């Protein structure tokens, strides 16, 4: 079975005529991360907010005075395996394709919506997916009630404004490159087609950062950051799958960018100062 999948991956990679590849995620029946490969499907939406947004006006073919139908933006929220992260689904595209992580307020200069979300008390980070927004709160002492209300209001006002979601560039860090060797291409193919769609269903993403001496280096973002089950996901889920199909993979390691270390130190210092007050 693994040999057939490997052969299929090689044929698929060889047939590509572009150096960039990205799978679009629309299957809401994919499994959740809490059990991982395989697990039960979770699709529990527990909050709905209707705002005066996305007005689509349609003239009805009726006699008498003209009548209009107005459609409103419907924002749903979905729990994630990380109790500090909540997934907001506006019912329309956010990035369309790709993901974008805002680990701190200083990283949100290219997005007015992200800046507004960081302006909400208790919000630690913001993450954009193809059709969702993940908001992560600072700690367990912060209640979701107020954050959800203000976040829904900010999201509704943003889509009503018609402003672009970002003025920067959305990076597809794990997209295929002409410089990739056979092993790296197969790793990226499995990530893009089998792993990342499932992780995105839980409000996060897995970014390929390198392959060296048998070790696959990955960065977990969105709801995966600081998630209690991220280690289980990395080892029991991602590592096992990659090793099954690609024998050259010996280990999977989670890495962080230098800016992530800086942001973590700044946030820890801020928490310490607030605790001394």
d(CA 143, CA 206): 27
Question: 3-class secondary structure for the chain?
Answer: CHHHHHHHHHHHHHHCCCCCCCCCCCCCCCCCCCCCCCCCCCCCEEEEEEECCCCCCEECCCCCCCCEECCCEEEEEEECCCCCEEEEECCCCCCCCCCEEECCHHHCCCCHHHHHHHCCCCEEEEEECCCCEEEEECCCCCCHHHHHHHHHHHHHHHHHHCCCCCCCCCCCCCCCCCCCCHHHHHHHHHHHHHHHHHHHHCCEEEEEEEEECCEEEEEEEECCCCCCCHHHHHHHHHHHHHHHHCCCCCEEEECCCHHHHHHHHHHHHHHHHHHHC
Contact (Cβ atoms closer than 8 angstroms) between residue 134 and residue 222? yes
* Structure tokens that stand for 225 in this block: 């950051």
What is the rounded average pLDDT of the residues 91-103? 92
Contact (Cβ atoms closer than 8 angstroms) between residue 8 and residue 212? no
Structure pTM? 0.69
What is the rounded average pLDDT of the residues 221-230? 82
Contact (Cβ atoms closer than 8 angstroms) between residue 238 and residue 218? yes
Domains detected in the chain: 2-26+173-259 (3.30.300.130), 45-161 (3.30.1370.70)
Give the tens place of pLDDT for each residue, 103-118: 999 999 999 999 999 9
In the prediction, which pLDDT does 45 show? 35
pLDDT at residue 62 is higher than 80: no
What is the rounded average pLDDT of the residues 74-79? 93
pLDDT band at 70 (very low <50, low <70, confident <90, very high): very low
In the prediction, which pLDDT does 258 show? 53
| Complete edge-to-edge strand list for the sheet that includes strand 45-51 | 45-51, 73-79, 85-89, 133-137, 123-128, 100-102
What is the rounded average pLDDT of the residues 50-73? 43
What is the rounded average pLDDT of the residues 150-173? 85
In the prediction, which pLDDT does 170 show? 59
The mean-pLDDT minimum among 2-11, 117-126, 248-257 falls in 2-11
pLDDT band at 3 (very low <50, low <70, confident <90, very high): low
d(CA 149, CA 48): 10
In the prediction, which pLDDT does 54 show? 36
**Bridge partners of 207?**
219
pLDDT at residue 259 is higher than 70: no
pLDDT at residue 16 is higher than 50: yes
Give the tens place of pLDDT for each residue, 211-223: 999 999 999 999 8
CA atoms within 13 A on the CB side of 168: 17
Average pLDDT, the chain: 76
d(CA 185, CA 10): 8
Higher-pLDDT residue of 177 and 119 is 119
pLDDT at residue 23 is higher than 70: no
d(CA 249, CA 232): 18
Q: Averaging pLDDT over each range in 51-55, 221-225, 273-277, which range is the top one?
A: 221-225
């Amino acid at each position: 079975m693994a040999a057939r999948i490997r052969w299929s991956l090689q044929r698929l990679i060889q047939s590509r005529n572009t150096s960039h590849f990205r799978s679009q995620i629309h299957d809401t029946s994919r499994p959740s991360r809490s059990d991982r490969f395989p697990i039960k499907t979770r699709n529990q939406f527990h909050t709905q907010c209707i705002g005066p947004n996305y007005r689509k006006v349609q003239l009805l073919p009726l006699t008498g005075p003209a009548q209009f139908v107005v459609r409103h933006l419907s924002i749903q929220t979905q729990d994630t395996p990380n109790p500090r992260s909540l997934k907001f689904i506006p019912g329309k595209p956010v990035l369309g394709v790709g993901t974008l992580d805002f680990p701190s307020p200083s990283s949100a200069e290219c997005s007015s919506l992200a800046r507004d979300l960081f302006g909400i008390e208790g919000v630690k980070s913001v993450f954009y997916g193809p059709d969702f927004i993940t908001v992560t709160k600072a700690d367990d002492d912060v209640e979701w009630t107020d954050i959800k209300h203000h976040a829904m209001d900010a999201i509704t006002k943003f889509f009503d404004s018609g402003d672009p979601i970002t003025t920067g560039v959305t990076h597809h860090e794990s997209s295929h490159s002409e410089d990739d060797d056979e092993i790296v291409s197969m790793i990226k193919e499995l990530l893009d087609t089998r792993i990342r769609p499932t992780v995105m269903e839980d409000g996060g993403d897995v970014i390929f950062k390198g392959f060296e001496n048998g070790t696959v280096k990955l960065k977990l973002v969105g709801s995966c950051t600081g998630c209690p089950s991220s280690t289980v996901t990395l080892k029991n889920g991602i590592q096992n799958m990659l090793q099954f199909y690609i024998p050259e993979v010996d280990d999977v390691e989670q890495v962080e960018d230098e800016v992530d270390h800086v942001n973590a130190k700044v946030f820890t210092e801020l928490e310490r100062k607030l605790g001394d007050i």
